[in-house]
Amino acid sequence: MTSELPEMRASDADRERIAERLREAVAEGRLDMTEFEERLDLAYKARTQGELVPLVRDLPEPAAAPAAGDPAWPARVGRPATSKGAFAFWSGFGRRGRWSVARNFTAGVLQGGGDIDLREADFEDREIVIRCFAVMGGIQVVVPPELHVEVSGFGFMGGFDDRGAGEGTPGSPRVRITGFALMGGVDVRRKERKRARKQLGK
């Protein structure tokens, strides 16, 4: 997206790129919440690229994406939490993509399902506790290979899978996943980050 074509129609992807830069700016303290909300509203209403450019003109350019296998932990730790928990009753919830997990995150499902994906997530602290409670339902937690993960939950007439537990790379946050499953399941598994999978051709 360039300012040389101000009248070109903006795509959904263009608007989302601007929205992501605004989210990063508020997380870094460059924008206060009022400015962030005003600009975000304008970003999603923008019809042309010319309307999008001024919204980030006073913000730094985004850093280059890290290479596969390099999660850039220092930049991803210490971000304000965007979610402290999730619950689903006869339904489902998802926490995926770019979000920031609270130091204490609680998830629960009752006859429902939940997905917690930490591969692209930021972290409020270096020590994170995720409590998962599944009753006649299931919660799946997806973690990247580079993350340090401990699993200590248990299941009663259900399962609490710890296959995703393991050491992380130097500087990675320490995530402890605990809780219980009653006639349900909690599945913790490791998967490559989406960006890394694309670079590897998977």
- Residues 36 and 81 reside in one and the same domain: no
Q: In sequence order, what are the residues at sequence separation of 6 or more whose Cβ sits closer than 8 angstroms to the Cβ of residue 12? A: none
Helix intervals (H) in 9-124: 12-27, 33-45, 49-52, 73-76
pLDDT number for residue 16: 83
pLDDT number for residue 202: 47
List average pLDDT for each run of 10 residues in the chain, which is 202 residues long. Answer: 63 84 83 89 90 89 56 85 94 92 96 94 95 95 94 90 88 93 94 61 48
pLDDT number for residue 200: 45
Is 137 part of any domain?
A: yes
- Residues 44 and 143 reside in one and the same domain: no
Is 68 part of any domain?
A: no
- Residues 157 and 91 reside in one and the same domain: yes
pLDDT number for residue 199: 47
Is 66 part of any domain?
A: no
Strand ranges (E), 90-126: 92-95, 100-110, 113-117, 122-123
pLDDT number for residue 2: 42
- Residues 184 and 100 reside in one and the same domain: yes
- Residues 37 and 106 reside in one and the same domain: no
- Residues 130 and 165 reside in one and the same domain: yes
pLDDT number for residue 118: 95
Total domains in the chain come to 2
- Residues 32 and 98 reside in one and the same domain: no
Is 85 part of any domain?
A: yes
Handedness of CA 77, 56, 83, 152 (dihedral sign): negative
Domain around 20: 12-55
- Residues 131 and 170 reside in one and the same domain: yes
Is 178 part of any domain?
A: yes
Is 46 part of any domain?
A: yes
pLDDT number for residue 64: 52
- Residues 115 and 42 reside in one and the same domain: no
Joined together, the tokens standing for residue 149 give 């993960």
Is 165 part of any domain?
A: yes
- Residues 178 and 83 reside in one and the same domain: yes
- Distance of alpha carbon 108 from the chain centroid: 18
**Residues 149, 128 contacting (CB under 8 angstroms):** no
Distance CA 33, CA 38 (A): 9
- Residues 80 and 175 reside in one and the same domain: yes
Is 61 part of any domain?
A: no
- Residues 164 and 120 reside in one and the same domain: yes
